[in-house]
Amino acid sequence: MAMRWEQLAKRQPVVAKMLQSGLEKGRISHAYLFEGQRGTGKKAASLLLAKSLFCLSPSGIAPCLECRNCRRIDSGNHPDVRLISPDGGSIKKEQIEWLQQEFTKTAVESDKKMYIVEHADQMTTSAANSLLKFLEEPYPGTVAVLLTEQYHRLLRTVVSRCQVFSFRPLPPTELAGQLVEERVPPALALLAAHLTNSYDEALALSQDRWFAEARTLVLQLYEMLGKPALQLLFFIHDRLFPHFPEKYQLDLGLDLLLYIYRDLLHIQAGRMDSALYQDELDRLQRWALSCPQRRILDSMDAILQAKARLNTTNMSTALLMEQLALQLKR
């Protein structure tokens, strides 16, 4: 779904205010650098800026999102709005030279041209030096937007030629609140907001039936730790594994398990409001009463070690989960 200015103002108020002010005053910079973590809305904001510049039926500075130009920008087909992305792991000099040639041409449909360079930190040195040349001598009516998650990897001379906007991750509670506004159940919204700081990812995750079932299974796994070992292992193979066939899914499941132990610590410290499994407080309180703090900390450490092994070794996921479950049971 295309971003609107009111949405950007909610997620990135400082960025939205400065861009809106520039548009209203007709003082758009020739080059911007949008920096921040993945999922903070940098690309969506750059496309929103493009639509505000090229929209055929704007309301003030707000694009209509319906006209031919708005639709072509969203689909990547507008002749005066170009997106450059890494080719084979890096942005090469040839790509920037092509961009320079495009800069020299007259805009096809208006007096403006805009270029978005995605993952600008992945430019080769020669590509960055080529980019620097036309950032130093911008062509009239052109706007460049560089996007990066690795601000420190860019040449200082490139950064100095841009107006820098920092995109901050939303605090999980604010992100969860926005998800709830989209009718996501609060119990899922809070967990999804802690698993990713990307609004789009958190929304997709919390609306996925798989995620709701994963949450239920992980709570059941904690309960099964009190059962005989054979029963516990049967649950892992019969119920858990079929739901987490991929490593990334199992990694997410381990995060959900880690949050249970995190909640137990908060409850023992009297911080009930900090629990993520808010709809399971009765069960969590019972579990917290029967689980010493030292055991909780050891269990959290064991889960973190399992996550590290999952992502750095070729160890069988079945063996890894069996070992972890027996370790947590002890």
Report the 10 Å Cβ neighbour count for 168: 14
From CA 181, how far away is CA 241, in angstroms rounded?
33
Sheet of 81-84: strands edge to edge? 81-84, 113-117, 142-148, 31-36, 163-167
CATH topology of domain 208-329: Zinc Finger, Delta Prime; domain 3 (1.20.272)
From CA 219, how far away is CA 239, in angstroms rounded?
12
Closest CA to 154 of 313, 72, 307, 32: 32
HSE-up of residue 235 (Cα within 13 Å, Cβ side)? 18
CATH code: domain 5-167 is 3.40.50.300
Report the 10 Å Cβ neighbour count for 10: 16
Name the residue with higher pLDDT: 279 or 312: 279
**Tokens at 140, concatenated:** 């009239």
Spell out the domain ranges in the chain.
5-167, 208-329
Mean of the per-residue pLDDT values of the chain = 92
End-to-end CA distance of the chain: 48
Mean pLDDT over 3-7 rounds to 91
* Tens of pLDDT, residues 107-130: 666 778 999 999 999 999 999 999
* Tens of pLDDT, residues 125-178: 999 999 998 788 777 888 999 999 998 999 999 999 999 999 998 889 888 998
Which residues are CB-contacts of 225 (< 8 A; sequence separation ≥ 6)? 232, 325, 328, 329
| Model pLDDT, residue 109 | 67
Give counts: helices (H), strands (E), the chain: 17, 5
Burial of 22 (0-12, 13-18, 19+ CB in 10 A): middle
* Tens of pLDDT, residues 187-224: 999 999 999 988 888 999 999 999 999 999 999 999 99
* Tens of pLDDT, residues 76-102: 999 899 999 998 889 999 999 888 887
